[in-house]
Amino acid sequence: MNELIDRYVLAVARRLPASNREDVARELRATIDDMLDARGSRDQGAVRDVLTELGDPAVLAAGYRSGPQHLIGPEVYGPFLETLRRILAIALPVVVGIQLLFGDWGSDRSVASIVIGAIAGALQVGVHVVVWTALTFIVIERSGAAREVADGGEGWTPDDLPALPRQRQITLGELIGAVVVLALIPAGLLWQRYRSPYEEAGDPIPLFDPDLWDLWIPVLFGIVVVNLGLEGWKYAVGHWTLPLVVANLAVNVAFVGYFALLFSREDVWNPAYAAELAERTGFQLADSPILAIAMVSIVAISAWDIVESIIKLRQAPTERVLLEGVPA
Amino acid sequence: MELDEELLAGHVQELRRGTVVLACLSVLQAPHYGYALLSTLAEAGLSVDANTLYPLLRRLEKQGLLHSEWNTEEPRPRKFYEVTDLGRALLERLATEWASLDTTVRTILGRSEP
């Protein structure tokens, strides 16, 4: 007997169930002998040729086994991914939210360490969700329930089709976020007018030059109102359209232009406030880079807003095609 | 246009897959042991890998289409396979199916010829 053949037969046999292991091994041995006869040689080279032709013992053994050769087969792969996605979409935000909410804020732990803790917690939960969902689906696959899961048990009919996604491109959350940010502008201006750390004869000294209220600040209120109108229009349409992108561009240009003009033409700080501040803290408002930083930020935010609207305009047709079946 | 060898092999294998069962059932109307069946098929022009054929024979046996018997009279014991009545019935149906498929495909190929 040849050692290489013994090793091959054993490598196949040990991968088979006990019920047919011996029978398959015996037949395999006879087959190898027949193949060697056909070659007219029993030397080591011929043996190697024959075994190479039979191929990887693991593959050969897999052919004999009848059960599924995969953990999660094509029938349940889709439902598996869908389940995973749904659980993660709920579990992860909840875990992060809880950890941030009940984080150790009182102690001297830094904000960063609490945030990192929340992310680590989310990762841990994520791994658990993936592992347990996978195990559940492996059981479903093995128990033969796979076909039922795949077709919902009763066989598929067109009624099983999911409803079309009516997902808005511009969500209510986005609308609320934009309104809150915009509302901060008039709120801040009014606040600085009536609340100030410095007083003169019982009256607060505003941060910004009171003369601005004659023209500049009302104009800014006007721009904010137009902006609010644009946000409302965006939400009403639900997705970006060309008129919306153009209007958004105009509003952003107006916003940037307004501040560029304001900062270049007017001394926005209230001289009385600047004097008071300089006297008490030595901080010179006029020399500070605050306005420059503000200008750069305004330009950056507006530029991004314009770019984003164009990107989203390009994405919007996909949804329209899906809903109307006609390429735009 | 260069046809990728691997791509070609994959599609040829796909095309041949079902025909192996038909050919096996047909040859096994007379008892054969595995290697003899393999050689017979190869001579006829249908080359099947040993590591495909042997597991296939087991599956067909499990489905009751073949039955097997060890012949220990020869110096080398061999497992002989032969179709059962069920296997013969299936062979007839498959042969009919093959003939109709052949006609259909020929018709389609003929119609599409430039």
ipTM score assigned to the predicted complex: 0.83
Chain A residue whose CA is closest to B63: A66
- B16 falls in which pLDDT band (50, 70, 90)? confident
Q: State the pLDDT at residue A83.
A: 87
CA A305/CA A316 separation, integer angstroms: 16
Per-domain boundaries in chain B: 8-112
A25-34, A75-84, A284-293: segment of lowest average pLDDT: A284-293
**Residue A145 reports pLDDT greater than 80:** no
In chain A, where does DSSP find H-type helix? Answer: 3-13, 18-39, 44-54, 57-64, 74-101, 111-142, 146-151, 172-194, 216-237, 242-265, 271-281, 290-324
What is the CA angle A56-B37-A4, rounded to 5?
Answer: 30
A219-233, A277-291, B65-79: segment of lowest average pLDDT: A277-291
Average pLDDT, chain B: 90
Please give the average per-residue pLDDT across A61-90, as a whole number: 82
The residue assigned the tokens 């709920």 is A90
Side-chain-side CA neighbours of residue A193 (13 Å): 12
Long-range contacts at A179-183 (CB < 8 A, ≥ 24 apart): A179/A228, A179/A231, A182/A224, A182/A227, A182/A228, A182/A231
**Residues A277, A285 contacting (CB under 8 angstroms):** yes
In degrees and rounded to multiples of 5, residue B79 shows phi and psi of -95, 120
Other CB atoms within 10 A of residue A254 CB: 16
**Residue A165 reports pLDDT greater than 80:** no
Domain B8-112 is found in CATH 3.30.2130.10: no
Q: State the pLDDT at residue A203.
A: 83
CA A235/CA A126 separation, integer angstroms: 34
Number of A/B CB contacts below 8 angstroms equals 54
Percent of all residues in chain A with a pLDDT value above 90, rounded to a whole number: 20
Chain A residues with CB-CB distance to B59 below 8 A: 66
Nearest CB neighbour to B34, from listed A20, A23, A27: A27
Q: State the pLDDT at residue A328.
A: 40
**Residue A137 reports pLDDT greater than 90:** no
Other CB atoms within 10 A of residue B8 CB: 10
pTM: 0.52
> Which residues lie across from B32 on neighbouring strands?
B81
**Residue B41 reports pLDDT greater than 90:** yes
Chain A residues with CB-CB distance to B78 below 8 A: 27, 30, 34
Instruction: Enumerate chain A positions whose Cβ falls within 8 A of a Cβ in B.
Output: 20, 23-24, 26-28, 30-31, 33-35, 38, 53-55, 59-60, 63-64, 66
Reported as a single tens digit per residue, the pLDDT across B78-97 is 999 999 999 999 999 999 99
**Residue A152 reports pLDDT greater than 60:** no
Q: State the pLDDT at residue A327.
A: 45
Please give the average per-residue pLDDT across B96-114, as a whole number: 88
Reported as a single tens digit per residue, the pLDDT across A50-62 is 999 888 888 888 8
CA dihedral over A115, A116, A122, A124, signed as positive or negative:
negative
The residue assigned the tokens 């059960």 is A67
